[in-house]
Amino acid sequence: MKQLFKIVFLIFSISIFSQTDSNKLDANGKKVGLWKGVFEDTKRPRYEGTFDHDKEVGLFKFFDNTKESYLIATREFNSKDNSAYTIFYDSNKNKISEGKVLNKLYEGLWIYYHKGSSVIMTSENYKNGKLDGAKTINFKSGKVAEISNYKNGLLEGIYIKNDESGVALEESFYVNGELNGITTYRAPDGLVVAKGKFRKGIKVGIWQFFENGKLESEDNYDQPNRIKSKRNK
């Protein structure tokens, strides 16, 4: 009986210790030390991480609401700039995306991966939660599919769209999110199929259309009732 009492007491002591070893509050009711959150409906693990008087410090882990409790994200908090380097995962532990979050907004370089792969699909830059700077999209082969630039969330500057063989299918220019300037379209064989100018997203002036690399017709978009002029072959 005494032996049984000792075992019960030991189990009870371990239970009490495990309950008080995390999810503590300081004298002011602020979170301190290790905290483990759960989903309200299933009581499965939702997150775990360390607080210093309500402030997240170090590495936090986040889990999905399944019996497997897959790790779906980590956030590494930086006390110097109050940012959190965040990584998202799929259920096979492959990275989906990663980058910095500052004041709950994306900041700086973010990288996205092709599904189930370590090959970078997209790299883009943010400022105050808006796209700002260079953006590149890659094929799964690693070859560049698109190159663009953003300013305050809008396309700004040159835009290039390639096929996987490296042919520039489109070369254009943007100002404040609208097509402006000369745009060139090409076929997969590299030959130009159309070329002309945009102004604030609208075609203007003379547009040229090609067939097998030869000028086939021209269209003047400045004329209200324009008639496409064809070239003699």
- For a pLDDT cut of 90, what percent of the chain falls above it? 86
Instruction: Please write the tens of the pLDDT for every residue from 74-112.
Output: 999 999 999 999 999 999 999 999 999 999 999 999 999
Q: CA–CA separation, 140 vs 120, rounded Å?
A: 8
Spatial CA neighbour of 53 closest among 28, 81, 78, 35? 28
Tokens standing for 198?
A: 């945009």
Instruction: Please write the tens of the pLDDT for every residue from 1-48.
Output: 444 334 333 333 333 334 458 999 999 999 999 999 999 999 999 999
- Per the CB < 8 A criterion, the answer to whether 93 and 71 are in contact is yes
